[in-house]
Structure 1
Amino acid sequence: MYPGGSDKEPEPRAYLPDVEYIVDSANPFTWPAVGRRIRSLNPDLIVVQWWHVYWAPFIIWVKRLARRCGKRLVVICHNVDDHEAAGWKVKLRNLALGDCKELFVHSSRHRESLGEMFPAASIRMHPIPAYDAFPAPDRELPRRAGTELLFFGLIRPYKGLDILLQALARLADRDFHLTIAGESWDGASAYERIISEGGISEKVEMVNAYVSNQSAANLFARADAIVLPYRSASGSAVAALALNYHKPVVASEVGGFVDIVAPGTGILVEAGNIDALAGALSRVMDGGKWYEPDAIAATNERLTWRSLASELKRQ
C-alpha cells in the first residue's frame, strides 16, 4: 500500500522535542499502547493526520477510540484524495473519513471539494505555515549555473515533473541547472528519457532517494526558485519549506498554491501548460525583480503555527 522506501525520518529528531514515537501505523499490535497513552492524557482534542490510504486502518481505529473515550477528533487531510486513486482506495478513504465530524485542510479549493464529498462534516482551513523548525543550512553547495532550480519531494505523476522537464527542454540554451531531489514511486526511466531527448542531461541532477532534512536545507539554500508544476494539489509541504527558507515559488494554479503564491512570493501558471511554465522559468532566468523578499516575509508573518492551532481548535 505504501510504495516508498520508508515512512520514517532517519535523522535525530532534535527539532521535535518532547515527542513520544509510540505509533507504528503498520503494526496494529502497537496500537493498544497508543490507546492507553491517550486515555492517560485525557486530552480535549485528538488530532490525526491523513495523506495516504496506507494510514486508513489506523485512522479508523483512532476514530473508534475517540468515540469510546468521548473525545473530539479532527483529521487533518493533507491530500483530500489520492491523486492517482483506484476504486478500492476511494472506498477505503470514504470508510476512514466518511463519518468524521471534523476535518481540516490546507487550501480553500479543497475545503470546497471535501465539503462536496462529506457534506455532514465541519471543515476548516488554514494554509501550511513555514516549516520554521527545520534545520538551517550547514554548508554552502557549489553553484553550477546562473539560475539554480529545485524540484523537491516524493516524485509522483500528479506532481508534473515531466511537464517541468519538457518546459526546460525548450530552454536548453539558457544558463540553468535543475536539481530533482526525492524518491520516485514509479521509477525514473520515463524522466531520464525526457532529459536525454530534450538535450538537458548536463543541466539536470536527479537524486532518486529520500532526502534528509539537513540535505534539504542545503538544497533550498542554493536554489533561486522552487518549481512545483503539479497537475493537482491540496496543501503543499514543499511550498511551506520554500517559505521557511525565504525562497520564491513557480507553481501551478491548483490547490493550496493559490492561497500562498501571489505576486511577490512567486509565479502561478496554468496547470499542465508547458509553454506557460517555460515562459515563467524564462522570466526567472532573466533575473530582475520577479519576486519581493518582503512579500515572502509578510506571508510568513500572516501564516503562523499559532494561527493554524487556533483554527484547528475552533469549534
Structure 2
Amino acid sequence: MRKNTHPIISVVGPSTRFLSGISYYTIRLCNALSEKSAVHAVLFRNMLPKRLFPGWKRVGVTTSSVGFSDTIDVAEVLDWYNPFSWATGAQRIRRSDVVILEWWTSSVMHMFLALLLLSGRKARIIIEFHEVVDPLEYAILPLRMYAKVMGRIIRRNASRFIVHSEHDRELIASQYRIDPSRITVIPHGLYDQYPILSKEESKLQLGIGGNFVLLFFGLLRPYKGVSHLIQAFEKLPSYLLEETVLVIAGEAWEDQESLNRIKESPVSDRIILENRYISDEDIPVFFSAADLLVLPYTRASQSGVAHIGIAYGLPILATQVGGLVESLGSYAGTRFVRPGDNDGLADTIKDLILHKSQDRYDPPEEMRWNRIAERYLNEIVNPVQEKI
C-alpha cells in the first residue's frame, strides 16, 4: 500500500436501481469520503432475479434525490447471476487501498467473495454492517445455510468491521464470533437531502389540514410494530382523536395483520394508509406535514427513517430496541417506550400531543457526513496505511 498519499477507497453497495436507504447511505458515504480521498463506487446492478423482489415493478424506474459527486468513479456493474460482471467489478477495486463492503443482506455474499478472489486481495477489506440478521433470510433453510457458509468465508478476509451502535457491536461480535476490538462504532449519517416544506401547505396537500399528524413511514413488515401503533392510537381519548390523524405511509411487505387491523379499527376514519412505494418527490410532503414521527419497532439495528426525521428536526417516539436507543439517545427530540407496550405508547403519544415543547430540534453534530468521513479516515483508513 502506498504511504503518504491519499488512499484509494472502493465502496461496494447497491445502486439506485433497487432504491433503498442503503443505496442512499452508499452515495452519501462516497461523497463524504471523496472530499479527502479518491473514491470508486462499485455498485450492484441486479441483486436478485427481479421477480423475487417484492417491489420489482419499480426496479430501475424510481429516481433518486441525490447523486454521486462528479469526482467519484462510479461503476454500476455487478449482477447477482453473472460471473463476467464480477470480474469487471474486481478490475475496478484492484488498485484500491481499502475496500468497504456494505452488508445488509447475505444474498450478495457470493459476489463479495468473487470480488475478493478476482481482485487479488491486496486491499484491506472493511465490512460495514447495516443489519445483523435478516429475519426473512433466516426463516428459509437454504438461504440460512448459504448465509452461514458464505458469510463466514467473507468475514475471515476482513481486517475491520464497522457498525452504527455499541449494541450492534456486541451483537455482531457474539453472532459471528468476531473479536470486539476489530469492530469500530461510527454513527449513521443524516438523510438530509430533502427540502423542508411549509407544514400547513403539506398538511393541506395530504388533505389533513389543521390536525396533529402522527407519522409512521417505511416498509410495513411485522417487526416494524405497526399493529401496536394502531392499537395505541385507538386508546387515545376521543377529544384528542378528533384532532389527530395517524398517517401510515409505505409498502406492505409480509404484514397483512396491520392492513386488516386498519380496516377493522373503530377509528379507521382517523387513519390514512398510503400502501405504496413513497417516491423521493413525495417524502418531503409527509415529513413536513408530520408533528411526530413514531417508530414502534419490535426489533431494529438502525433506522434510516429516523435519520430522515432527525434531519427534519421532528420529535421522535421510538421503542427501546437494538441500536435505536444509542443512535437516537443524543437527539434531544427523542422519547422512548418499551416495545410492545401499547398502553405506554398511547400515554406517551398523548403527552407529546398535549405538551409539545418545540417544533424543531437540532441534529447531533456527530451525525453530519463530514464528521463521519473524518471518523472513517482517522480511525479506519489512515491507520491501515500507516501499518503497511
- TM (norm. structure 1) is 0.86
Distance 1:13 1:193, change over 3 A: closer
What is aligned with 2:86?
A: 31
For structure 1, the residue ranges without an aligned partner over 5 or more in a row are none
Larger Rg: 2
95-104 or 231-240, which moves further after superposition? 95-104
Aligned mates of 2:66, 2:131 — CA distance in 1: 27
CA distance in structure 2 between the aligned counterparts of 1:246 and 1:92, rounded to whole angstroms: 41
Cα distance change of structure 1 residues 275 and 14 upon mapping to structure 2, 3 Å threshold: closer
Q: Return the letter of the residue paired with 1:203.
A: R
Q: How does 1:52-201 map to 2 (within 5 A)?
A: 52-65=105-118, 68-84=120-136, 85-86=138-139, 87-99=141-153, 100=155, 101=158, 102-121=160-179, 122-132=182-192, 134-137=193-196, 140-143=201-204, 144=208, 145-171=210-236, 173=238, 174=241, 175-186=243-254, 189-201=256-268
8 Å Cα contact 1:149/1:225 also seen in 2 = yes
- What amino acid does structure 2 have at the position aligned with 1:16? F
Q: Match for 1:23: what amino acid?
A: V
Cα–Cα, structure 1 residues 147 and 23, in superposed 2: closer, same or farther, change >3 Å? farther
Distance across 2 between alignment mates of 1:70 and 1:181: 45
Query: How much has 1:2 moved relative to structure 2?
Result: 3.7
Task: Determine the structure 1 residue equivalent to 2:76.
Answer: 22
Distance (Å, rounded) in 1 between the aligned partners of 2:65 and 2:202: 24
Distance of 2:190 and 2:170 partners within structure 1: 23
Q: Rate the CA distance shift 1:80–1:8 in 2: closer, same or farther, 3 A.
A: farther
User: Structure 1 residues 65 and 246 mapped into 2: Cα distance closer, same or farther (>3 Å)?
Assistant: farther
Q: State the 1:302 CA deviation.
A: 2.7
Equivalenced residue count is 306
Whether contact under 8 Å (1:249, 1:266) holds in the other structure is yes
State the one-letter code of the partner of 2:170. Answer: E
In the alignment, residue 369 of structure 2 is paired with which amino acid? W
- Runs of at least 5 residues in structure 2 that lack an aligned partner in the other structure: 1-51, 381-388
Deviations 1:18-59 (A, max 9, x none): 3625134434242222222222xx222111212123323323
Aligned-pair CA distance for 1:119: 2.9
Shift of 1:80: 0.8
Asked if structure 2 preserves the Cα contact closer than 8 Å seen for 1:138 and 1:214, the reply is: no
1:44 counterpart residue number = 97
Cα deviation for residue 9 of structure 1 reads 6.9
2-structure distance, mates of 1:65, 1:279: 56
Q: Aligned to 2:273, what secondary structure does the other structure show?
A: strand
CA change 1:120–1:51 in 2 (3 A) is: closer
Name the structure 2 match of 1:233: 300
Q: Is the 2:166–2:326 Cα contact (8 Å) retained in structure 1?
A: yes
Identity fraction in percent: 27
Deviations 1:196-229 (A, max 9, x none): 3321221112222221222112211111111111
User: Structure 1 residue runs of 4+, over 4 Å off?
Assistant: 6-9
Greater CA deviation, 96-105 or 248-257? 96-105
